Structure 1
Amino acid sequence: MGADRPVDVRDPLAESLAPAPASGPRPEETPRVAVVGGGIAGLAAACALAERDTDVVVYEREDTLGGRLRGWGTTLRDGSPATMTRGFHAFFRQYYNLRGLLRRADPALEGLVPLDDYPLVHRDGPRDRFSGLPPTPPWNAAVLAATSPSFPPRDLARVNVPAALQLLDVDVPGVYERLDHLSARDLLTAVRFPPRARHLAFEVFTRSFFADPGRLSAAELAVMFHLYFLGSSEGLVFDVPGSPFPQALWDPLERRLAKLGVRFRTGAPVEGVRPGRGRRFAVRCGPDGGPDAEFDGVVLAADPPGVRRLVAGSPDLGDPRWRDRLARLESAPPFLVSRYWLDRPVRPHRPAFLGTAGYPTLDNVSVLERYEDEARAWARRTGGSVVELHAYALPEDADPERERVRLWEQAAAVYPELGAAGVVDDRHELRADCPLFAPGSHRDRCGVATLDPFLVLAGDHVRTDLPVALMERAATSGLLAANALLARWGREGHTVWTVPRQGRSAPLRSLARWARHTPR
């Protein structure tokens, strides 16, 4: 990425982290690296390694790349080809490392289109918007509180100001030492935000981590607000892919990486990694995966269930404590994505994306033809709409059919015209493979480095000690993993960019610390 400020980094306080200097000699033979996992983290690592004269093979158990953002073809009942995915994802402007990765194949990011606003609506009626807010903290928070119907002055007077100030004193990793033992719900209860504001401005975001606030670390909540709102001046607007994920993101990136010499083995689940004979590691695929391939380095970039399986099948990797920590890596509760192709349009004023609060399970509603070209073409041809519903943090024993019905009923309460619509076709994805950032888990979370300097971890479950989250955590960890290997082979690493690693205002940080240590 280079030391120069990338075009995406508009915040003057954004920070760059130079890679560590080379710690090993440059080998005569080109190093070979296996990247296990073809999601964001794995692709970021593969790209960073390939750009530094490294021979890379990416193993992906699915037939397509992209991990949780992959897509696959399907045929609707009316004969139309369509691309199904695992649901809506927002590409925020402060996702510096992810956007830098995508720029490798799409320099102008033409595959992304902006969504300048995304309303948040409570079941009882109040609605908030993020358009028109000043981008720079703390003025964005002040204007939101002053103009939002969710922050009535009578209720704001009851806010616990010393507790609220802690959200302005986020430093990573110090915030984990102070708040990781609490749940997000504990922190919100202590702050005493107005109930509707709590739902709209906080719980909507905590559930974006696929977890109920009671099972999410308060430190993760604080870091999240720092990343998206209180620590970055990039604003809360975001972009979305203008085409299905494969066409907009991964097909171009795959072509770019192939030109760099990266080889892809899709549909190839890795069952284990063991010591090699000629090289340091041997990678074993499934029964039909052919003979073991040998490598000088390995990047484990699988999702939490994949990491647990792979480590269980690789008894020679790591020490008992490291293996135990990965074995106890928790997955977040199940989430459901339901997509419907309807025989009539939703009302024209419906936004592309609507966040919801106060409903039993409905978290958001997307109208895909508002931003995605494939859905738009289908809607124009048929006169219908393509609507997607998300339900996060479902019960562990959730019944798929019952949850689909409940989700549709809630969506019809939000958009009543859905009740009269006919369903041309529908697809549903119930998954439970996202990481859970539970209270108290940070100290036990594995980082990029391992006891073996040529074995590294990457993924959105990996501890980076930077203020990143979700897709940006995945991309950042991939870069850090690649840098760790490159340094060992005497190669220059890549600059990593991040929002400020502590609260933006020194006076406000001092005030928060004074409040924290003042007896009350």
Structure 2
Amino acid sequence: MRDRKAVRVPGPTGRASCDGKRVVVVGGGIAGLAAATVLAERGAHVVLCEREDHLGGRVGGWETVLADGSRATMTRGFHAFFRQYYNLRSLLRRVDPTGDALTAMPDYPLWHAGGHREGFAGLPRTAPWNALGFLLRSPTFRPRDLTSVDVRAALPLLDVSVPRAYDELDALDAADYLRRIRFPEAAHALAFEVFSRSFFAHPSRMSAAELAAMFHIYFLGSNEGLLFDVAADPFPHALWDPLARYLTGRGVTVRTGTPVRRVSRASRGFTVELDDDAPTADAVVLAADVNGLRALVEDSDLATPEWRADVKALDTAPPFLVSRYWLDRPVRRDRPGFLGTSGYDLLDNVTVLDAYEHEARAWAARTGGAVVELHGYSLPDGVTEQEARARLLAQLHEVYPETRSARVVDERHELRADCPLFPPGGWPTRPTVRTPEPGLVLAGDLVRVDLPVALMERAATTGFAAANHLLSDWGVAGTDLWTVPTAGRGPVLRTLARRFGRAPVA
């Protein structure tokens, strides 16, 4: 079921098959898997190359052995599968048609160290009643605080469209935007800073247009709400291993542990240089992360100097740390599976995996313990990994005091810095799916697409769009895309925003 106002973007029309076109997909994350799926379903001979030993990209996972001898699956952290992720869910339905791989979280709780607490369960799903319901029951928003809000500057949030929002707001950073609207400080910290840091960057380094688009996607523009689902099993078991089998069943060659060194133009198509092979292809999908894409483009003489310069200018968000602890005793039974936090030093959220994930739940049941994961996004300059680990753990003890007496059975830590950064002013030069090089397309959450999508859904959407671009060039039918409404939710809200709203000013 979709929001009745969800927007269908028709795929290209044409023949049913591309008659064995050869395509190399570079990158086995969500974007690469989405592109490979549609291309294989249209008869392409696809080789999928992934440099890691597992699929899924930043939503991947791998086996580890704990100190007590247990086998567990480590990942790069919690991911929320929101109900408005239409294209990602379309991809997953290939291997999970009934949706059993995902389980619903009852709420999206947010805690501030100052004592403010929010949640989104039980709110109306229709805008603007969802926002009004949130305001009326929120302990954070007080009537006298709201009188300070610059209503005219806030009204454009009721009519966010892409790419218009970027034309209007991309020059501002998200923190400055919120200051100019004059949202109450507590509301700023809870309802906006928590969300913006989900993009792995502090609001001062993030485009205001990205924040406005996110508010549209998850709140005022969609009736799907802010509640979400999570994977009931570790990502490889629930999602990517079944999808790999689906792809190989359609003739896709899936090669993990296979970095691509260079892509070059051949007399007919491309040559893709691997460590042990150099397959040729009619087309190439580059679905690598920022660092991988920059390195590959630098080593490959493709497209135009201007395009290569735009790729080189892409940047990554600051480092983030995921710390997972296997503890010898449980957390309180009423602790949520996921908790967003603000004001707790470096800590941005806490996940109790045994509240919802079968593997973690089995370990906790067998040992009487708990599996807890901590995230710290946008780590400050100069903070070492050891210091960040210690500070996250100390804040866990503040948030959930019962963990202070727990013994750590084992722990795993992932410090990474490979998420795309969407800085102010970056939209005009952000690379798009189509490139100046015929037969070469991009996909991934770093890629510009003129639709209101974000995070995992941007990856899936650009993967489908990349396949569609190639199929369209070959006269072959593609796949439809879906998105939340591409403008304000209703005519009254749009009229208010367009007639009385204005861009925020200092």
Give the alignment's TM-score, normalised by structure 2: 0.98
* Counterpart for residue 120 of structure 1: 110
> Which of 171, 181, 187 is 2:177 aligned to?
187
> Which of 140, 148, 170 is 2:160 aligned to?
170
> Which of 298, 301, 306 is 1:312 aligned to?
298
Which whole-Å CA distance do the structure 1 matches of 2:164 and 2:13 have between them? Answer: 25
- Residues 224-283 of structure 1: per-residue CA shift (max 9 Å, x gap): 010000100011111000010000110111111111111111000101101225x41010
Query: C-alpha displacement at 1:118, in angstroms?
Result: 2.1
Q: Does structure 1 residue 502 correspond to structure 2 residue 492?
A: no
Which whole-Å CA distance do the structure 2 matches of 1:519 and 1:312 have between them? Answer: 39
Which whole-Å CA distance do the structure 2 matches of 1:21 and 1:450 have between them? Answer: 21
* Counterpart for residue 45 of structure 1: 35
Give the SS at the match of 1:358: strand
- Residues 18-62 of structure 1: per-residue CA shift (max 9 Å, x gap): 12345x9987x5100000000000000000101111111100000
* Counterpart for residue 283 of structure 1: 272
Which whole-Å CA distance do the structure 2 matches of 1:303 and 1:517 have between them? Answer: 36
> Which of 385, 403, 421 is 1:418 aligned to?
403
> Which of 247, 250, 253 is 2:237 aligned to?
247
Give the SS at the match of 1:94: coil
Query: C-alpha displacement at 1:507, in angstroms?
Result: 2.3
Which whole-Å CA distance do the structure 1 matches of 2:37 and 2:240 have between them? Answer: 12
Instruction: Kindly indicate whether the alpha-carbon contact (under 8 Å) linking 1:334 and 1:396 is maintained by their aligned counterparts in 2.
Output: no
Instruction: Kindly indicate whether the alpha-carbon contact (under 8 Å) linking 2:12 and 2:471 is maintained by their aligned counterparts in 1.
Output: no
Which whole-Å CA distance do the structure 1 matches of 2:78 and 2:182 have between them? Answer: 31
* Counterpart for residue 20 of structure 1: 12
Same amino acid, percent of matched pairs: 59
Q: Does structure 1 residue 339 correspond to structure 2 residue 324?
A: yes
Instruction: Kindly indicate whether the alpha-carbon contact (under 8 Å) linking 1:166 and 1:512 is maintained by their aligned counterparts in 2.
Output: yes
Instruction: Give the counterpart letter for 2:194 in structure 1.
Output: V
Structure 1: tracts of 5 or more residues without a match: 1-7
Over the residues paired in the alignment, what is the CA RMSD in angstroms?
1.5
Instruction: Give the counterpart letter for 1:19 in structure 2.
Output: G
Instruction: Give the counterpart letter for 1:193 in structure 2.
Output: F
Give the SS at the match of 1:363: strand
Q: Does structure 1 residue 201 correspond to structure 2 residue 187?
A: no
* Counterpart for residue 142 of structure 2: 152
Q: Does structure 1 residue 441 correspond to structure 2 residue 431?
A: no
> Which of 56, 70, 82 is 1:66 aligned to?
56
Instruction: Give the counterpart letter for 1:38 in structure 2.
Output: G
Instruction: Kindly indicate whether the alpha-carbon contact (under 8 Å) linking 1:35 and 1:46 is maintained by their aligned counterparts in 2.
Output: yes
Gap change, CA 1:13 and 1:25, over 3 Å in 2? closer
Give the SS at the match of 1:477: helix
* Counterpart for residue 220 of structure 2: 230
> Which of 463, 466, 474 is 1:481 aligned to?
466
> Which of 41, 61, 65 is 1:75 aligned to?
65
Which whole-Å CA distance do the structure 2 matches of 1:321 and 1:516 have between them? Answer: 37
Give the SS at the match of 2:410: strand
Instruction: Give the counterpart letter for 1:14 in structure 2.
Output: A
Instruction: Kindly indicate whether the alpha-carbon contact (under 8 Å) linking 1:25 and 1:488 is maintained by their aligned counterparts in 2.
Output: no
Give the SS at the match of 2:482: strand
Which whole-Å CA distance do the structure 2 matches of 1:144 and 1:25 have between them? Answer: 48
Which whole-Å CA distance do the structure 2 matches of 1:514 and 1:214 have between them? Answer: 29
Gap change, CA 1:152 and 1:259, over 3 Å in 2? same
> Which of 273, 282, 291 is 1:296 aligned to?
282
Which whole-Å CA distance do the structure 1 matches of 2:472 and 2:381 have between them? Answer: 42
- Residues 296-321 of structure 1: per-residue CA shift (max 9 Å, x gap): 00000000001001001102x11000
Which whole-Å CA distance do the structure 2 matches of 1:291 and 1:116 have between them? Answer: 49
Instruction: Give the counterpart letter for 1:293 in structure 2.
Output: P
Instruction: Kindly indicate whether the alpha-carbon contact (under 8 Å) linking 1:25 and 1:489 is maintained by their aligned counterparts in 2.
Output: no
Which whole-Å CA distance do the structure 2 matches of 1:120 and 1:450 have between them? Answer: 41
* Counterpart for residue 120 of structure 2: 130
Give the SS at the match of 2:347: coil
Query: C-alpha displacement at 1:112, in angstroms?
Result: 0.4
Which whole-Å CA distance do the structure 2 matches of 1:251 and 1:136 have between them? Answer: 37
> Which of 342, 348, 351 is 1:363 aligned to?
348
* Counterpart for residue 4 of structure 1: none
* Counterpart for residue 329 of structure 1: 314
Query: C-alpha displacement at 1:517, in angstroms?
Result: 5.1
Instruction: Kindly indicate whether the alpha-carbon contact (under 8 Å) linking 2:110 and 2:340 is maintained by their aligned counterparts in 1.
Output: yes
Gap change, CA 1:446 and 1:519, over 3 Å in 2? closer
Which whole-Å CA distance do the structure 1 matches of 2:354 and 2:196 have between them? Answer: 27
Query: C-alpha displacement at 1:397, in angstroms?
Result: 4.0
Instruction: Kindly indicate whether the alpha-carbon contact (under 8 Å) linking 1:25 and 1:490 is maintained by their aligned counterparts in 2.
Output: no
- Residues 342-367 of structure 1: per-residue CA shift (max 9 Å, x gap): 00001111110111011221000000
* Counterpart for residue 500 of structure 2: 515
Q: Does structure 1 residue 395 correspond to structure 2 residue 380?
A: yes
Instruction: Kindly indicate whether the alpha-carbon contact (under 8 Å) linking 2:140 and 2:187 is maintained by their aligned counterparts in 1.
Output: yes
Give the SS at the match of 2:49: strand
Which whole-Å CA distance do the structure 2 matches of 1:355 and 1:244 have between them? Answer: 21
> Which of 88, 93, 101 is 1:103 aligned to?
93
Instruction: Give the counterpart letter for 2:501 in structure 1.
Output: R
Instruction: Kindly indicate whether the alpha-carbon contact (under 8 Å) linking 2:260 and 2:296 is maintained by their aligned counterparts in 1.
Output: yes
Query: How many residues in Structure 1 have an aligned counterpart in Structure 2?
Result: 505
Query: C-alpha displacement at 1:186, in angstroms?
Result: 1.1
* Counterpart for residue 3 of structure 1: none
Q: Does structure 1 residue 210 correspond to structure 2 residue 200?
A: yes
Gap change, CA 1:350 and 1:518, over 3 Å in 2? closer
